[in-house]
Amino acid sequence: MVSGPFIFRIMEQTKKPTKSLTEEKKWLATSEHIGRNIPYCEHLCEEYNYLWVEQKGFNITPIKRDIRRHVQLWIKNTPGKKVVATIQRLNPAARQHLLEIMPIQYRGFFETRDGQFPIEFSSPIPFLSMEKKYGTTFQITKTIRKRYGRNILEIKNTICTPEDGKVFIALNQIRKHNNVELTDQYTIHFRTSFTEIAKELGKTQPYSKSTHEGIFHSLERLRSITLTWRNGKRFYIGGLLHSATNLKPDNDHCIDICQDRFFSDLMLYQFNGFKCLQFYYHLPGRLANLFLFLNRFQSFNQYGTFDSQRWHLQIQDIYDLAGLHSPINAPTMAYILYDFKKLLKEAKKRKLIKSYSMADRHLLIGNEQKQRPD
């Protein structure tokens, strides 16, 4: 039911109690409310006013499409802190309407109640650090669970490594420059080659058999992993790769890739803002995962700064969420502090970060060259 201060003027116009508002009129109320409270949407205040006098039902699809397009544009061009503050001021009914129509990667904004920024956790990192002694398959029998804000990610069957993550990101980059076919609602199909993937990854020997074999094993693991995303009663079961097929082994340019659209789109959106993918591709495994984790935060991606206290995270949380340890052996707190400090020193040496502090088990990353504006 529509509620809030903005509804009183609507009630005067309709001369009806709010309970009798039709679904169409509720969307009109939402469009007016959004137009008065969200930049880029000012035109919504007047755009559909003429529909208030309509006695019969009308098509609300153009209204939904208009709202979605301009709210999405606003989110992309606004610092996350301002987005959260603005959304908190919205009427609950308007937030619910936005939750229904926004793409999955934006929905976290409209679910928050405590001022946090759950979109930071809506995109999972299922790539976990593994030692080479465990081989190339990394089969697991127990489910690994990771909580991202209100979302829960479950990993089953196979563990994907940071190197597999690089192949996955490379596939998403290749896909953007390829002829993509949506074979069904949840599957993306395109064609590539081992050599093209190797070149995207910046491999020094993109034509070598060993390079192609390494990519092949990554594709195997990306195909084998099963991911379950949960948010309350909503869930999605899928993976990162439906299939990779080459039925013409003499033709390297004939690998048909079928990706899971849900997880691929979610991760492609979150990691699309990288300005230095070649830098990421050449990082060692755990540093590559740390790079993925930090770049999901707008403050780091744009300004090189990160404060874990702002997101109510401690060092052990980051260590786990970024996939910096093997899930086979649970590390002690003392080891986490020792190992994470060593990792941050290496990150600073490789110019991934400028400076860091680990006081009171909170991580603070600064940028000496480019300070974040207040």
Q: Is residue 36 part of a domain?
A: yes
Tell me: do 268 and 140 sit in the same domain.
yes
Q: Is residue 214 part of a domain?
A: yes
In single-letter form, the type of residue at position 59 comes to: N
Domain around 65? 7-102
| Tokens 């976290």, residue located | 108
Tell me: do 257 and 289 sit in the same domain.
no
Tell me: do 269 and 363 sit in the same domain.
no
| Residue 269 confidence (pLDDT) above 60 | no
* CA angle (303, 121, 261) in 5-degree steps: 105
Q: Is residue 92 part of a domain?
A: yes
Higher pLDDT, residue 350 or 265: 350
**Considering 102, 136, 161, which residue would you say is the last residue of a domain?**
102
Tell me: do 348 and 229 sit in the same domain.
no
Q: Is residue 33 part of a domain?
A: yes
Residues pairing with 366 in the sheet: 355
Alpha-carbon Rg for the chain, nearest whole angstrom, is 23
Q: Is residue 195 part of a domain?
A: yes
Mean pLDDT throughout 89-112? 74
**Considering 251, 273, 295, which residue would you say is the last residue of a domain?**
273
Tell me: do 261 and 296 sit in the same domain.
no
Alpha carbon separation from 353 to 114, 284, 363 (Å, rounded): 29, 15, 12
Tell me: do 130 and 220 sit in the same domain.
yes
C-alpha 307/C-alpha 300 separation (Å) is: 9
Tell me: do 269 and 289 sit in the same domain.
no
| Residue 229 confidence (pLDDT) above 60 | yes
Higher pLDDT, residue 312 or 28: 28
Tell me: do 77 and 48 sit in the same domain.
yes
pLDDT tens readout for residues 142-191: 888 887 666 788 888 888 889 998 999 899 888 877 777 776 667 888 88
| Residue 134 confidence (pLDDT) above 60 | no
Tell me: do 188 and 262 sit in the same domain.
yes
**Considering 273, 305, 321, which residue would you say is the last residue of a domain?**
273
| Residue 370 confidence (pLDDT) above 60 | no
Number of domains within the chain: 3
Q: Is residue 114 part of a domain?
A: no
- The answer to pTM > 0.85 is no
Alpha carbon separation from 134 to 57, 139, 225 (Å, rounded): 63, 9, 16
Looking at residue 340, its pLDDT comes to: 92
| Alpha helices by DSSP H, 255-332 | 261-270, 277-281, 285-295, 298-303, 315-321
Tell me: do 174 and 220 sit in the same domain.
yes
Q: Is residue 119 part of a domain?
A: no
Mean pLDDT throughout 91-104? 81
pLDDT tens readout for residues 287-337: 998 888 887 776 676 677 888 887 778 888 888 888 888 777 778 999 999
Tell me: do 222 and 254 sit in the same domain.
yes
Q: Is residue 117 part of a domain?
A: no
Tell me: do 366 and 328 sit in the same domain.
yes
